[in-house]
Amino acid sequence: MLWRSSQAAAAVWSTLLATLPLGLASPAPSPVIGLRPRQTIIPGGKPCGQNNATNRQCWKNNWNISTDYDHTNPPAFNNRVYDFHITNVTNWLGPDGVRKPAMLINNQFPGPTIEAEWGDYVIVNVYNDMQDNGTSIHWHGIRQYGESNQDGANGVTECPIPPGSMKTYDFHVTQYGTSWYHSHYSNQYGNGVVGALIVHGPAAANYDIDLGPYMINDYYHETADRLHLRAELVSNGAPPDSDNILFRGKNIHPLGANRGGSYDRLTLTPGKKHRLRLINASVDNSFVVSLVGHNFTVITNDLVPINPVVRSSLFLAVGQRYDVIIEANQPVANYWLNATLEANNNCGRSRNLFPAAIISYQGASTTALPTNRGTPRVVTCNGETGFSPILTRTVPSTAFAGSAVGTLPVTLEFPNHPGRGQVFEWRVKNTPINIEWDHPILEYILEGNSSWPGQANLIDVPQADQWVFWVIQNDFALPHPIHLHGHDFLTLGIGSGTFNINTMRNQLTFDNPIRRDVVQMPGNSWLVIGYKTDNPGVWLMHCHIGWHVAMGLGVQFLERKDEIRRMMPLDQLVPNCDAWRRYAKTSPYLPKLDSGLRKREAKQAEKGEPAWRRIA
């Protein structure tokens, strides 16, 4: 059995670790769930000191911004333990004054912020206290080295957690920066099962104050199941507009503050530099974020540290994150923080036409509104470019050839659904993904099966430690924020039209391109990504627009199948799956009628039953 730490290791490293925040569990040896313990080889070079306002590139001693976290990280001595109780509420008073059904974690929205330090273990006990819905929690962007069974994608790496049951997620945070967690059972995160996940570590630039996570998300007064029933119908055209845009879970009612709610206010200290961790946790809406009169110094995209870049605004696709530094060098006053939607509605629509929060300098009025709305840039649905990761990755251009390159055409079809008429159906390689909640692909693999349903849309990637590339071709006018589990991928190129592998290689960047876990693929475009097969497991890739993945836009990569059974015993998966299968036999709300990754349409959805019973 492999162990996370030992008494001998603890003795060596205890002097290297600074005092950590409160809320830690007592360190204890725990068996690794996965392939191997992470290495703790001390990086070369002299110790850099301690992390402080003038030395943010240092973390602790030898560990710093130049340490390659894909190969080594600080030793783990701390288990960050959280208990999540997920409940449904039928008459919840939302932040903008409208009562609605909701799903909450520990009776709060957004859910509790998970905080850890680079190299820690995070342990989350998830209790499903709902009556009629399964759940699962995905730790977005966390690579889960050798721990595919901790990824939280039901139907892929686990069965859903049934009502009345509990599951413990236990994983190693080998990256650092800003991310988030959310339910991967249907669109539950759009109903409130969502929160921030922060891993403290070194930073690419100095700052004085960490303002913490800043989640921005679309918000709906109806439940996700009702919205999806409308969104999937061809006769309805576009998906429903969001009713609001929330900033840290707050905003006024879109028709005015007299209807309820309040603006979020965040305070800056004059003369100081502030780190703000931007997260787009939307179901459908992407937007450009800008702060009137101020620039952003961008230091990370997703969980990848980058060489600092100054921008006046940032496009955040669904699922993306940026850590920025804001210098409070303007007159003491209140300033609008704007989230601007694209004018042609290609990146989602909202009934809040001017979504904004307030950034207030210390000493400014605590009640007055800003006077300058600002002039946000002309917004498109194109993602940000021009970032370079600090830890470089260079791909030999000769590797982009032959069987290492796969094609993934994305198409939109309009089949007839019995009793509903024509519906939108997204396909990858001519298949709409449709997973099995009661028999996830990882269970197939651990059982030794060599076949599975075709609609799992599973692609075998058997080679070890090799670069593989995927040409994703989007022949429809709508964009897609493409998210890959288990990897930070390289974005080798994006362009309009159709990619030709023989004549367009010169449009690709092989020397340290942008690396992240969500990239915005524009409409009528091609996207080429690549990653190294260094993480055995089953990894989902999908559009992060909730409606699109519910309609089938996803694919699974089976990476290094022959090694998976040696990494994860079947008995780690079976107890929860058995509990789910027992529940599913008696539940009147099954079977599912869609992909199962986001929205499931219960048969009772149009029969007037309480909405929280159908939220999914």
Domains of the chain: 397-572 (2.60.40.420)
pLDDT value of residue 13? 30
């307030």: which residue's tokens? Answer: 358
Residue 186 zone, left/alpha/beta (φ > 0; ψ -120 to 50; rest): left
For residue 482, pLDDT beyond 80: yes
Contact 182, 101 (CB under 8 A): no
Give percent of the chain with pLDDT exceeding 90: 80
What does the angle CA 383 – CA 482 – CA 350 come to, to the nearest 5 degrees?
Answer: 65
| Mean pLDDT to the nearest integer, 579-594 | 78
Give the whole-angstrom CA distance, residue 468 versus residue 575.
34
Look up residue 229 and give its two tokens: 């029933």
What's the farthest any 2 CA atoms get from each other in the chain?
69
Split at pLDDT 50, 70, 90, the class of 606 is very low
Residue 12 has pLDDT above 80, yes or no: no
Distance of alpha carbon 189 from alpha carbon 156, whole angstroms: 18
The pLDDT value given to residue 35: 39
User: Which range, of 3-17, 91-105, 208-222, 263-277, averages the lowest pLDDT?
Assistant: 3-17
pLDDT of 121-178, one tens digit each? 999 999 999 999 999 999 999 999 999 999 999 999 999 999 999 999 999 999 999 9
pLDDT of residue 85: 99
What pLDDT score was predicted for residue 207? 99
189: number of CA atoms within 13 Å, CB side? 31
Cα-only R_g, the chain: 23
* 596 band by pLDDT with thresholds 50, 70 and 90: low
Host H or E run for residue 482: strand 480-484
What average pLDDT does range 273-297 have in this prediction? 98
Average pLDDT over residues 39-50: 78
Q: Is the pLDDT score of 17 beyond 90? A: no
Assign 611 to helix, strand or coil: helix
CA-CA distances (angstroms) from residue 168 to 306, 608, 616?
Answer: 33, 35, 21
356 or 375, which is more confident: 356
| Structure token digits, residue 49 | 């000191």
Phi, psi of 425 (to 5 degrees): -140, 115
Q: How much of the chain exceeds pLDDT 70, in percent?
A: 88
User: Cα 459–463–466 angle (5° rounding)?
Assistant: 110
What is the pLDDT, as a whole number, of residue 245?
Answer: 98
What does 103-170 look like in DSSP terms, one character per residue? Answer: EEETTBSSPPPEEEETT-EEEEEEEE--SS--B-EEEET---TT-GGGS--BTTTBPPBPTT-EEEEE
Mean pLDDT of 380-403: 95
* pLDDT for residue 594: 52
Indicate the pLDDT class of residue 61, thresholds 50, 70 and 90: confident
Q: Is the pLDDT of residue 549 over 70?
A: yes
- Better pLDDT: 590 or 174: 174
Residue 261 near residue 98, CB atoms below 8 Å: no
What token pair was written down for 509?
Answer: 């960047």
Q: What is residue 380's predicted lDDT score, i.e. its pLDDT?
A: 85
Question: What distance in Å separates the CA atoms of residue 35 and residue 172, rounded to the nearest whole number?
Answer: 12
Distance (Å, rounded) from C-alpha 318 to C-alpha 281? 6
Q: Find the mean pLDDT for residues 491-500.
A: 97
Residues 6+ away with beta carbon under 8 Å from 432: 413, 425, 426, 455, 457, 551, 552, 553, 595
**Torsion sign, CA atoms 228, 542, 439, 142:** negative
Give residue 5's pLDDT. 36
pLDDT digit string, tens, across residues 292-323? 999 999 999 999 999 999 999 999 999 999 99
Q: Which H or E element spans position 209?
A: strand 209-219
CA–CA dist 540, 484 (Å, integer): 6
The yes-or-no verdict on residue 588 having pLDDT over 90 is no
Cβ density class 163-175: b for 16+ within 10 Å, e for less? bebebebbbbbbb
590 pLDDT band, cuts 50/70/90, is: low
Query: pLDDT per residue over 206-228, tens digit each?
Result: 999 999 999 999 999 999 888 99
Three-state SS string over 250-303 comes to: ECECCCCHHHCECCCEEEECCCCEEEEEEEECCCCCCEEEEECCCCEEEEEECC
Q: Which amino acid is at 257?
A: A
Quick check: 414 pLDDT over 90?
Answer: yes
Confidence of residue 592 (pLDDT cuts 50, 70, 90): low
Average pLDDT, the chain: 89
Query: Does 51 have pLDDT greater than 60?
Result: yes
Q: Residue 52's closest CA among 207, 274, 269?
A: 207
CA-CA-CA-CA dihedral for 137, 138, 142, 145, to nearest 10: 90
The pLDDT confidence band at residue 27, using thresholds 50, 70 and 90, is very low
Helix-strand-coil percent breakdown of the chain, rounded to 5?
A: 15, 35, 50
